[in-house]
C-alpha cells in the first residue's frame, strides 16, 4: 500500500470497501456497547469467535467463548445498577483485509450520570463469513495521575 500525503488523501475518492469495513467495525463496537448497557449476555457472546481470548480490565484471562460466557453470566446481569459504560471507536489498523486492531475509548458513568473512570480496550477482530468477530481482546483501565 502506497503512502500518500495529506493533500493527496483529501483529493482522492474514499475506497468504498474501506468505508464499508469501517462502518461494520463501528457497528461491532456499538453492539458491544448495546449488549453491555442492556445486560444481554447471549448477544454479547455472539460477538466473539469460538476460540477468542478476553482479558478483563482487572487482568482475568479468559480463553474461549465458554470461559467468556461463564464469566459474563456472573458479572453482566445487574451491572447497570452501578452505572453505564459507553464505547467509542477511536482508531482502526487493518493488519490484513480480514484482520484489524480496533482501539476503543471506554467511559464509565455512575448511576447518576457522573463520569467515574475510563478504559482503553484493544480488540483484535477477524472477519469470518462476512462478519467481524472479537478475537483477541484486552481491556485496560486508564489510571488517572
Percent of the chain surpassing pLDDT 70? 89
CB-based contact 48:133 (threshold 8 Å): yes
User: All 3 cell numbers of residue 124?
Assistant: 483484535
Nearest to 82 by CA among 39, 145, 134: 39
Residue 49: inside a domain, yes or no?
yes
Residues spanned by the domain of 30: 16-142
88-140 pLDDT, tens digit per residue, is 999 999 999 999 999 999 999 998 888 888 999 999 999 999 999 999 999 88
1-10 pLDDT, tens digit per residue, is 344 444 444 5
Which residues, at least 6 apart from 122, have a Cβ–Cβ distance to it below 8 Å? 101, 102, 103, 104, 137, 138, 140
Helix and strand numbers, DSSP H then E, in the chain: 4, 8
Residue 6: inside a domain, yes or no?
no
With a cut of 70, say whether residue 20 has pLDDT above it. yes
Residue 4: inside a domain, yes or no?
no
CATH number at residue 39: 3.10.450.50
pTM of the predicted protein model: 0.85
Across the chain, mean pLDDT equals: 89
Amino acid at each position: 500500500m502506497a503512502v500518500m500525503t495529506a493533500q493527496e488523501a483529501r483529493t482522492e475518492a474514499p475506497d468504498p470497501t474501506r468505508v464499508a469495513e469501517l462502518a461494520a467495525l463501528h457497528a461491532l463496537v456499538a453492539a458491544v456497547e448495546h449488549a453491555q448497557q442492556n445486560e444481554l449476555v447471549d448477544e454479547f457472546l455472539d460477538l466473539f469467535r469460538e476460540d477468542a481470548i478476553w482479558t478483563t480490565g482487572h487482568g482475568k484471562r479468559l480463553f474461549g467463548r465458554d470461559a467468556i460466557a461463564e464469566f459474563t453470566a456472573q458479572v453482566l446481569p445487574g451491572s447497570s445498577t452501578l452505572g453505564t459504560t459507553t464505547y467509542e471507536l477511536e482508531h482502526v489498523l487493518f493488519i490484513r483485509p480480514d484482520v484489524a486492531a480496533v482501539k476503543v475509548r471506554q467511559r464509565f458513568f455512575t448511576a447518576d450520570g457522573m463520569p467515574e473512570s475510563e478504559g482503553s480496550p484493544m480488540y483484535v477482530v477477524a472477519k469470518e463469513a462476512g462478519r467481524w468477530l472479537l478475537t483477541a481482546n484486552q481491556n485496560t483501565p486508564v489510571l488517572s495521575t
